[in-house]
Amino acid sequence: MSEKIIIEGGYELEGEVRISGAKNATVALIPATVLASSVVTIYDVPDISDVEALSDILRSLNVEVNRQKDHLIIDPSKIKNIDLVQDNVTKLRASYYFMGALLGRFKKVKIKMPGGCFLGPRPIDLHLKGFKALGAEVKLDDDGIYEISANELLGTNIYLDFPSVGATINIMMAAIFANGRTVIENSAKEPEIVDLAIMLNKMGAKVRGAGTDEIIIDGVSSLGGCFHEIIPDRIEAGTYIVIAAACAKKMKITNIIPHHLEGLISKLEDANVAMELGDDSITIVGNKEIKAIKIKTQPYPGFATDLQSLLGAFLTQAKGVSMIEETIYPERFKYCEELNKMGANIKVKSPVCFIEGVSQLKGTEVSATDLRCGAALIIAGLLAKGTTTISNAYHIYRGYENIVEKLRNLNARIWEEK
């Protein structure tokens, strides 16, 4: 895939866009298939590079993976517990879900520390605390390779100091075959966790409470295959909603779960954006004067950290000074520097940034420093006068299916550099 996205800005968008399956659910569902002993078929799998990378990791474990249109057919019946120490593992952060999944399945996993987007420090102490509480021993060598093993995994109560999405998912998977009952207290409540619990239960697991702050897992002895359709991506939906609010006369976004977007919708209402909600769609009518607002990111159901950079780009068009407080990743403001290169007026005092509107953005060369920074730059590029060139576009392809094609269908002048 090409490395640059080029946008000629200033054109009004219009039309309809369908939201794909959720990236952050998919990246947990794929590793979870190693817990099954027969075929798992997952529908509405987004065509993004993170899915490719996780499928490659599965193949290196001798798991068969076939993609047919929007579904992945995964046959883990001949799986081998091979050490995951190659470069393909460190390429993306979600590879760490193989920690919990392989520990659960084989009671042993050897895996290199994952990479992923740089959003400031991203420790995994809570994941490890959970594995240890279940009876595992954790060793880390000088090359960043973890060896986690247990003679027996025993159900227990695990309290998370913070409702971490990753730790909740990893501990859930590690506990699936543990003896007895595991209770994760102060668990994360994100919809992607509920989706994973639904798939695991279809496979024969006994997981209750997903979506609340207490998840209860009663250990079972084996899991079978299943069919599962992924929930729509609330962050991709949020991205197109904000794009519509910023640049569209009228745009309909379909295949959404409105309930998952309440944090965003309420903030856009404050900003004076006109919206019509359907059962599984939302229509945005643009062109109103945008008001400055205050946002504070929080764990779900609060305002999602993954959407704050998008609002950052949008609020350059608001009247007055907006403020964003980032409580999940206090350093997630690299996008502001890039937006300022385009003529925005944003001052960062981590964990807060102040956005002074209204700015006429101007096209220039900018860099996607991470996935959601890339999405914010696309919004800015669509708003800007002239041509914007976004380098390191591979970050964007990690999480947005066919973004260039989807935007072209909405009348955007956008292309990938060949």
Return residues touching ligand EPU (CB under 6 A). 24, 27, 93-94, 117, 121-127, 162, 164-167, 188, 235, 305-306, 328-329, 371-372, 399
What minimum distance in Å lies between the beta carbon of 230 and ligand EPU?
A: 13
Q: Tokens 């890339």 sit at which residue?
A: 374
CB of 165 to ligand EPU, least distance (A): 4
Please list the alpha-helical segments (H only) found in 64-190.
87-90, 97-106, 125-133, 165-174
Q: What share of the chain is helix, strand, coil (3-state, %, to 5)?
A: 35, 30, 35
Q: Smaller CB distance to ligand EPU: residue 133 or 318?
A: 133
Considering beta carbons, is residue 225 or 399 the nearer one to ligand EPU?
A: 399
Decide whether 252 or 260 has the Cβ nearer to ligand EPU: 260
- In 81-211 the beta strands, taken as DSSP E runs, fall at 108-112, 137-140, 145-149, 157-159, 181-185, 206-208
Of the candidates 117, 226, 336, 353, the residue annotated as catalytic is: 117
Residue nearest ligand EPU, CB atom distance: 166
Q: How far is the CB of 274 from ligand EPU (least distance, A)?
A: 28
Nearer to ligand EPU, 314 or 329 (CB): 329
Helix (H, G, I), strand (E, B) or coil at 153: coil
Edge-to-edge strands, sheet with 5-8? 365-367, 387-391, 5-8, 413-416
Phi, psi of 111 (to 5 degrees): -150, 140
What is the Cα–Cα distance from 44 to 56, expressed in whole angstroms?
19
Least distance in angstroms from the C-beta of 25 to ligand EPU = 8
**Strands 321-325, 352-356: parallel, antiparallel or unpaired by DSSP?**
antiparallel
| Residue 176 Cα distances to 5, 36, 168, 221, 378, angstroms | 42, 11, 12, 8, 41
Residue 36: beta bridge partners?
A: 223
What token pair was written down for 225? 């295959």
Q: Are 19 and 237 contacting, i.e. CB atoms less than 8 angstroms apart?
A: yes
Is 117 one of the catalytic residues? yes
400: three-class secondary structure by DSSP: coil
For residue 62, the one-letter residue type is: N
Q: Looking at this protein, which amino acid is placed at residue 257?
A: I
Least distance in angstroms from the C-beta of 195 to ligand EPU: 11
Nearer to ligand EPU, 27 or 57 (CB): 27
Task: Name which of 112 and 252 has its Cβ closer to ligand EPU.
Answer: 112
Work out how close the CB of 166 gets to ligand EPU at its nearest, in angstroms, rounded to a whole number. Answer: 3
Q: How far apart are the first and last CA of the chain?
A: 8
Least distance in angstroms from the C-beta of 117 to ligand EPU: 5
- CB 63, min distance to ligand EPU, A: 20
Residue with smaller CB distance to ligand EPU, 129 or 250: 129
Residue 174's SS3 state is helix
How many residues does this entry show for the chain? 418
User: Cα separation of 151 and 154, whole Å?
Assistant: 10
Give the list of residues 6+ apart from residue 206 with CB closer than 8 angstroms, or none: 217, 218, 219, 220
User: Closer CB to ligand EPU, residue 165 or residue 393?
Assistant: 165
Catalytic positions: 117
